[in-house]
């Protein structure tokens, strides 16, 4: 089996080397970059996961993540922020950008390895036998992992895609936040209670008029109503 490719972007050279060493022991193929500018010189579309620091030089980790999520070739690459900025606002900001996880420094290598393994396992999950989910002009291609709105591609993060896939594949059913978290995040990843709400709000905006189909049932959760 081909080794998963991971990019570590952090302005601390020693931390890059420590992460590279430990990740390679786990069997990953690892590339490091000490700035967003250096990372942008690489073919980012070939990576399976990006570990990204927030506080760097002219281009912050948040800005680089925003750039990646706006490009179709890199929008689906999972991102884990590794940063000393650990306030709730910072964490929510990272989630708003489509991050798959957020690890606060200082962290243990054991924690990082568990988070990386968890995210990659979700990314590598077997494809559904059903290839497309459709509602009028809203189409999810489960094989290509793409979303189109009136035949125009909409850039969704991996989390947004998985939430929409869950809701659209069970129209009329209301899913609790816990059920949505179990679908898009594993039990190994600790996330904030607001995580689902943040992703639902962003998803509604991205799918235009179909966002109205995603309903909130206070005290219960969310569903997609036809």
Dihedral sign (CA 223, 141, 156, 50): positive
What digits encode the pLDDT tens for the residues 196-226? 899 999 999 999 999 999 999 988 899 999 7
Answer whether the bond into residue 198 is a cis peptide, omega within 30°.
no
Least trusted range by pLDDT, from 2-6, 30-34, 125-129: 125-129
């Amino acid at each position: 089996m081909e080794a998963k490719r991971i990019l570590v972007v952090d302005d601390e050279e020693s931390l890059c080397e420590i992460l590279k060493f430990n990740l390679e022991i786990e069997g990953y193929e690892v590339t490091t970059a000490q700035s967003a500018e250096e990372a942008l010189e690489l073919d980012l579309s070939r990576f399976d996961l990006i570990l990204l620091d927030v506080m760097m030089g002219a281009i912050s980790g948040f800005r680089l993540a925003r750039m990646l999520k706006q490009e179709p070739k890199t929008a689906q690459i999972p991102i884990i922020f590794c940063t000393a900025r650990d306030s709730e606002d910072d964490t929510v900001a990272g989630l708003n950008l489509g991050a798959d996880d957020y690890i606060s420094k200082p962290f243990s290598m054991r924690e990082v390895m568990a988070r990386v393994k968890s995210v990659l396992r979700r990314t590598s999950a077997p494809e559904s036998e059903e290839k497309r989910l459709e509602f009028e002009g809203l189409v999810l291609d489960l094989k290509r992992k793409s979303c189109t709105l009136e035949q125009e591609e909409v850039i969704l993060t991996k989390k947004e895609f998985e939430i929409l896939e869950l809701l659209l594949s069970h129209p009329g059913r209301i899913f609790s936040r816990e059920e949505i978290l179990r679908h898009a995040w594993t039990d190994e990843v600790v996330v904030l209670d607001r995580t689902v709400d943040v992703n639902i709000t962003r998803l509604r905006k991205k799918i235009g008029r179909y966002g109205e189909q995603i309903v909130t049932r206070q005290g219960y959760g969310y569903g997609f109503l036809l």
